[in-house]
């Protein structure tokens, strides 16, 4: 086993009846890396995390975390990982400090060693005097940060964060992002982050894997993935898109990919500004003048659209203030 690799998987599969929730994924994640697992609900993100965390057994394939097999050496894996799943499982009748103390005792920590470690993780989560308040009085953002602290208490080598900011308001989400980046930068923790937020993956992850229908359909740094779409994108809306129109657009010099979604045409180009005039002339000659035209650089959503045929549309419910 390569000691520089924190997480690896080969042909990892998990089925539920006839449904292949995870359909043969391969992973190789270096120690000290933040890896973003990007996809919509139902894509297989959480199922993959639960297998890597030993909460679910694989149906097929293999995986190791921190050098230990998740199926045959589960206890060794659990000693070396921290896990914060989508729902924070905190006892609301305990204070935040009591929650941390209980977690520490479960890992064999006692006395001054435990007290010192609790103070250290509290300093990371920026919750102040509220750590001695009952969890039931916490906002959603505060609960997420205490849940993160419990995952860090035993100084894990690998931290799994399963959609850590879903349902949080933008301010709370930004605080969690800051803390995740700080943990990786200051402590060197390997972080496996599942998310359905494009900006979250773009801001935090050194590399991103896009998962759709249980398969990894694209992988690379955010910059590499966006570059694969093209230097510029021209998005134009017309009344309707005749069948022959996309092929005519492809004949324009400098055009890369042409994608159609309803009455919206997305054109990738090396130089979008230079393309606009020729594109407008062609649309006018085809009797489909542009109703709306936008020129911009690619985003991870454009990558997702290119590899899956769909936008990653997420309904961002507003959470509580931090």
pLDDT on residue 152: 87
**DSSP characters for 231-281?**
SEEEEEE-S---TTHHHHHHTSTTEEEEEEETTEEEEEES-HHHHHHHHHH
Q: Which residues of 288-306 are buried (b: 16+ CB within 10 A; e: fewer)?
A: bebeebeeeebbbbbbbbb
Topology of the domain comprising 231-297: Alpha-Beta Plaits (3.30.70)
> Is residue 180 within 8 Å of 165, Cβ to Cβ?
no
pLDDT on residue 314: 56
pLDDT on residue 316: 46
Q: How many CB atoms lie within 10 A of CB 235?
A: 18
> Is residue 37 within 8 Å of 195, Cβ to Cβ?
yes
The average pLDDT across 59-73 equals 97
pLDDT digits (tens, 9 = 90+) for 209-247: 999 999 999 999 999 998 888 789 999 999 999 999 999
Mean pLDDT lowest among 24-28, 55-59, 150-154, 290-294: 150-154
pLDDT on residue 140: 82
Q: Distance between the two ends of the chain, CA-based, in angstroms? A: 42
- Does 231-297 match 5-224 at the fold level? no
- The arrangement of secondary structure in 5-224, i.e. its CATH architecture, is 3-Layer(aba) Sandwich (3.40)
Position 38 pLDDT exceeds 50: yes
Closest CA to 158 of 83, 270, 225, 257: 83
* Confidence category of residue 110, pLDDT binned at 50, 70, 90: very high
pLDDT digits (tens, 9 = 90+) for 266-322: 999 989 999 999 999 999 999 999 999 999 999 898 898 888 878 776 544 434 333
Mean pLDDT lowest among 79-93, 95-109, 184-198: 79-93
Closest CA to 27 of 176, 192, 246: 192
Q: Percent of the chain scored above 90 by pLDDT?
A: 64
Q: Sheet of 158-162: strands edge to edge?
A: 81-84, 158-162, 190-195, 34-38, 207-212, 215-220
Position 1 pLDDT exceeds 70: no
Comparing 253 with 317, the larger pLDDT belongs to 253
> Is residue 12 within 8 Å of 25, Cβ to Cβ?
yes
Strands in the chain per DSSP E: 5-16, 19-30, 34-38, 60-65, 68-69, 81-84, 158-162, 190-195, 207-212, 215-220, 232-237, 255-261, 264-269, 292-296
Position 109 pLDDT exceeds 60: yes
What residue ranges do the domains of the chain occupy?
A: 5-224, 231-297
Comparing 125 with 23, the larger pLDDT belongs to 23
DSSP 156: -
> Is residue 231 within 8 Å of 270, Cβ to Cβ?
yes
> Is residue 134 within 8 Å of 95, Cβ to Cβ?
yes
Reading the block at residue 316, the tokens are 């961002």
* Confidence category of residue 27, pLDDT binned at 50, 70, 90: very high
pLDDT on residue 291: 96
Bridge partners for 95 per DSSP: 134
Q: Return mean pLDDT, the chain.
A: 90
pLDDT on residue 313: 61
SS3 115: helix
């Amino acid at each position: 086993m390569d000691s520089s690799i924190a997480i690896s998987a080969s042909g990892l599969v998990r089925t539920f009846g006839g449904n292949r929730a995870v359909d043969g994924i391969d992973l190789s994640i270096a120690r000290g890396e933040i890896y973003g697992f990007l996809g919509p609900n139902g894509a297989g993100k959480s199922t993959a995390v639960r297998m890597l965390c030993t909460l679910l057994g694989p149906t097929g394939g293999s995986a190791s975390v921190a050098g230990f097999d998740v199926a045959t050496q589960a206890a060794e894996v659990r000693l070396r990982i921290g896990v914060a799943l989508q729902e924070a499982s905190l006892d609301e009748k305990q204070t935040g400090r009591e929650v941390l103390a209980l977690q520490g005792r479960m890992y064999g920590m006692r006395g001054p060693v435990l007290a010192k470690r609790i103070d250290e993780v509290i300093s990371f989560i920026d919750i102040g005097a509220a750590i001695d308040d009952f969890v039931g009085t916490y906002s959603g953002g505060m609960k997420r940060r205490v849940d993160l602290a419990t995952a860090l208490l035993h100084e894990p080598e690998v931290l799994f964060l399963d959609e850590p900011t879903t349902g949080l308001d933008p301010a709370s989400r930004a605080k969690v992002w800051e803390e995740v980046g700080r943990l990786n930068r200051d402590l060197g923790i390997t972080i496996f982050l599942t998310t359905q937020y494009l900006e979250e993956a773009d801001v935090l992850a050194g590399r991103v894997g896009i998962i759709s229908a249980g398969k990894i359909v694209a992988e690379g740094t955010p910059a590499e993935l966006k570059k694969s779409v093209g230097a510029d994108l021209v998005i134009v809306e017309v009344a309707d898109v005749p069948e022959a129109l996309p092929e005519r657009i492809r004949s324009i010099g400098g055009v890369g990919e042409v994608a159609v979604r309803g009455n919206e045409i997305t054109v990738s180009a090396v130089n979008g500004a230079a393309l606009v005039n020729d594109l407008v002339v062609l649309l006018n000659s085809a009797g489909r003048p542009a109703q709306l035209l936008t020129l911009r650089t690619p985003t991870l959503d454009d990558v997702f659209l290119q590899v899956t045929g769909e936008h990653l549309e997420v309904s961002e419910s507003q959470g509580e203030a931090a």
